[in-house]
Structure 1
C-alpha cells in the first residue's frame, strides 16, 4: 500500500500503523505550518474495505477561525467542494470522509482527498481577506468622519512626487501641519512599507512627513517588527478593542493636541 500511495503522491509521505488502520502524513503544509494529514480506516467487518478520513478537527478549526459555513454562499461552495471530491461530511462527528473502497482504489482517492484538504483551507484565506477588508473600510470611514471639515484626506495616493514609490492608505493634510501618512497595518508587509516611507522621507528626500501604522491587532506583527515600528514611526496605535482611542491618536498627530473633545 505504501508504495502505491508514494507513487500517487510523487513525493515523500509517512505511513504509520494506528489501531484503526493507517495515519498518512504528507509533505504539504497548511497556512499554519501543520502538515496535511489524513487517516486510512479499515472497515471493522470487512477487512478488505477502507475509507479515508480527516481527524475530525478540520471543520471545527475553520469555524473557530471565523469561517461561517452556514451562510448561503459558503454552504453552496462547501457542498460543491464535497461533491467534486467525492467527500462526505458527518455533522454529528464533525468528520470528513470518503465512501468505502478497496485497497486498489486508495491511491487515486487519497490524491483526491488531499486536493480537498488543500482546497478547503481556501475558505480560511477568504475569511482573512474579508476581515482585513472590513478593518480597512471601518477604520477609513472613522478617519474620514473625524477629519471632515478639519483637514484634506487623500486615499491611495502618494505623499508627493518625491515619495511615490510607497503609497499609503491615507494622507491627512491639515493647514499649518506636517502631512500625516496612514497605513492600515493588517500585515507585516504593510507595517514595513510604513517604516520604509518614514525613513525615505527623513533621510533620502528630507521631506517633512509623519507616518502612522494603525495596527488591526497587536499580534498582527511579531515583537521585533513592533519594536522597530514603534521606534521609527510617529505612532503605532492598535485598533481592535480600542477604536475610538486609536482614531484619537491619529487625530492628535494630524491636527495637534489642542483638541479636548471626547469623541
Structure 2
C-alpha cells in the first residue's frame, strides 16, 4: 500500500524544463478546473540558488471570481497564510514567490508552496456567494464609500449612555439629521436587536433615532419577523441581488436625498 500511495502522488506530478528553470504541475485543481502549478526560478547570478513562484494568475483569478482582498478580514488572512509558508506577494507583477534558497531546499519547499496555493484557492469560500461572514465586510465597505465624508460613521458603537445595551454594526451621524443605527442582519437575532433598540429609543430614552436592519437575503428571517420588523423599523432593505439600491436606501436615510447626487 505504501508504494501505491507514493506512486499515486508521484505519477500526478509533471515537471518540465523552461528557460527560467522548471515548471511543476500538480494533481490539485482550483475551482475553474485548472491544475495548480508553479515554477522553480533559478537565480541568474548565483547558480546554487533558486526560488518558487506561481504563474501570476492565482490572485487575479480569485479577484475575478469575487474575492475582495481589500477588506480587513481577508487582508489579515492572506498575510497570515503567506507568512506561514515564507512567501510574499508582488503586487506589481501579481506574483506569489518565495525568497531565494539553496537548490537542495527546493524539493521540500515545493511541498509547502503547493499547499500554499491550495489554501489560497479556499478564498473562494470568502466570496459573496459562499460565505455569510463576508456580508458584513462588504456591506460596511459599500456604506462607508457611499456616504464618504458627509457623515461620521462608527463601528460597533453605542448610540448613547441610555441606549448602550445593544450596539448596531454601524452608527451614522450626519449634521442636522438624527443618528441612523445600521444592523447587518444575517439572522433573526440581529433583527430583534434592531427592534429592541428602536423601541427603547422611542419609548424609554425618547431619543431621536432611525434604525435600519439590512438583511443579507430574502430568506434571512421568517415572514412573521419580517412583518414585525417592517412595522417597527425605519427601513428593512435586502442586500443580495440589489446591493446598490439597498445601500442607497441607507444613504437617503443617513444624509438625505441630496446625498445621492454626490
Question: What TM-score do the two structures reach when normalised by structure 2?
Answer: 0.50
SS state at 1:207 partner: coil
Structure 1 residue 178, shift from structure 2 partner: 0.2
Structure 1 residue 147, shift from structure 2 partner: 1.6
Equivalent in the alignment of 2:228: 228
Structure 1 residue 149, shift from structure 2 partner: 1.0
Q: How does 1:189-204 map to 2 (within 5 A)?
A: 189-204=189-204
Structure 1 residue 260, shift from structure 2 partner: 4.6
1:191-235 superposed Cα distances (whole Å, 9 cap, x missing partner): 000000000000011011000000000111000000001110000
In the alignment, the residues of structure 2 paired with residue 178 and residue 131 of structure 1 have an alpha-carbon distance, to the nearest angstrom, of 33
1:61-88 superposed Cα distances (whole Å, 9 cap, x missing partner): xxxxxxx8x9x9xxxxxxxxxxxxxxxx
Equivalent in the alignment of 1:160: 160
**Closer, same or farther: CA 249–136 of 1 in aligned 2, 3 Å:** same
Equivalent in the alignment of 1:148: 148
Equivalent in the alignment of 2:255: 255
Equivalent in the alignment of 1:214: 214
Structure 1 residue 258, shift from structure 2 partner: 2.7
Q: How does 1:52-63 map to 2 (within 5 A)?
A: none
Structure 1 residue 131, shift from structure 2 partner: 1.8
Structure 1 residue 259, shift from structure 2 partner: 3.8
Report whether the alignment pairs 1:131 with 2:128: no
Give yes or no for contact 2:252–2:260 (8 Å, CA) kept in 1.
no
Instruction: Give the alignment's Cα RMSD to 1 decimal.
Output: 2.5
Equivalent in the alignment of 1:245: 245
Q: How does 1:69-84 map to 2 (within 5 A)?
A: none
1:162-186 superposed Cα distances (whole Å, 9 cap, x missing partner): 1000010000000000000000011
State the aligned residue count. Answer: 141
Structure 2 unaligned regions, length at least 5:
1-30, 37-124
Give yes or no for contact 2:182–2:213 (8 Å, CA) kept in 1.
yes
Question: What TM-score do the two structures reach when normalised by structure 1?
Answer: 0.50
